[in-house]
Each structure stands twice: as C-alpha cells, then as structure tokens.
Structure 1
C-alpha cells in the first residue's frame, strides 16, 4: 500500500509540474491547469504536500497572470445573470474557497483558532513548525481571496460562498 501511495503521489506531482510548465508557455490553458490541479487533489487522497503544492501553484498563477483573474472578477460586476456571476467568481476564487473549507483551521471557537495558528506564544525562529505553516497557509489563501474582492464592486455572491465554509 505504501508503494501505491508513493506512486500516486509521484503521478500527482507530474501532473502538477507538467500543467504548470504548459501554463507559462500558453496562458490560454488556465482552466485546463486548474482542472488538472483539482484532479490531482482528488487523486492524492488528502496529501498535505500535494495540497500545499497545488495552492502555491495557484497563487503563482494568480501572480503571473493576474489579468485573467481580474477579468473574471470584473466581469462579475457587470453581469446581470446571478448564475453567471457566481460562475465567474468561482473561476476566480473557487479553488481557494474549497481549500479553506476543506482544511482543518480549528474554527470551532476563537481560543482553538488562536492556539492552532500559534498566536498565543512568541514566534519561534523556526519557520517549519506547524503553527508557522498554518499561519502561512491561511495568509496565502486569504490573500488570494482578498485579490478577488478588490476587483468586485457590485453586489456579489462571493460572501455567501465564503459563509458556507465557516462553522
């Protein structure tokens, strides 16, 4: 079983790396790349390494090609059809919202959230501790959503998409 997991993980990495190279060669493949990340995440059976790699790749994509994500968020401002508006916002922020919703953030109450993210003690000099990693992942995900929110200036269903992931 261990070899099967390793093989599955290597397969997921190859999908992610291949799709990442393709996107930088041809920006029009954004949707195909995001779809391959989603498949890799589903195939990885909750591997934290694959999940982290997919989110980092998604953030890199947003930073490299911000215009595509801005356009989908901006189009949601002028579209009258609510279904299309939701689809455009899902394109811009849906993957990150799903990630936040599927990750254990200890949102049951304020105290557990503070402890989980290490806000109850002085920061250590070690950056790979679980609380430091939790803070970095939370900051990355929220930064991505904030980038989309900056573009939305009309009544938006993005809030209802976010509310569903909170306890």
Structure 2
C-alpha cells in the first residue's frame, strides 16, 4: 500500500474504531469479542482498502463487513459453545455511587431489550440509532430495500416501547 493510502487507512481506523466496537456490542458481542470483531473488520478493510475507499458509501460498506464478520464468528463451534447464562462481570473503573449503578442499570436494560428483538430488527436498530447510519446507508449495509429498514424500525421501536426492561427504567408507565 502506498504511503497516502496507508495514511488514509490509519485515519479511518482511528475514526471508526469506537463506533465499530460499540456496534458489535449492541449486535450481541461481549466487549472483548466486539474488539476482536472490529479488529477483524479493519484487517479486512486493509486488505481490500482500494474497494473500501472507492465505495460509494464507505460506512455502509464497512458495517456490512462487520456484520459478515459477526456472522462468520457465530458459525464457529466456539461461539455456539460459549455460556450465555454466565453474566460477564462489569469492570470497575473508579466510578462509585448511584451514578455508576444507574449507568450500569441503564446499559443492562438496553442490552436486554435489544436481545429481545429478532436479529434483523436488532441489526436495523443498532445501525440506524447506535451507529447513526442513515436509512439509505442502513439498507445498503444490510442489503435490503430502504422500505424494509423503515418497517423493521417501526416494529422494533414498538417492541422496545413495550419492553419490560425499559419500562422498569421509566417507572413502569407509558
């Protein structure tokens, strides 16, 4: 790779790393798995940087790569054998008091609510609201029509609005 492309790739990695990891977490990966998925995605970006950098919609192209990496890893025996019923401990980062506990409760409620969605609906919600892709970019990343993105979002948001985990946060009233 020539120095200009190398610099452009390095800038892209620095800019996109946090959102790729966050997207992978909201798509169902644990934090350390999300980092591995983001890294694998970025390695694939590096090997195909000419295609990635020349894509009409680079973000949609890269998030499609992330989804493909996630699908690939979920096909492995390792993923199927992992224990879902053992919660991963939350690392302590020096935050004490009710604010930290509240942040953890909110994060847990959001993860549980997202886990209750079907995979296609969760993918749309994560890419649209957490990654902040446009409807068109989300459609391109998932390989579906924009109208399907809208209908899945509508169903997913209705499901989330009635989710017990999120209702508990709001005091149980709608």
Category of TM-score, reference length = shorter chain = 0.3 to 0.5
TM-score (norm 2): 0.33
Normalising by structure 1, report the TM-score. 0.34
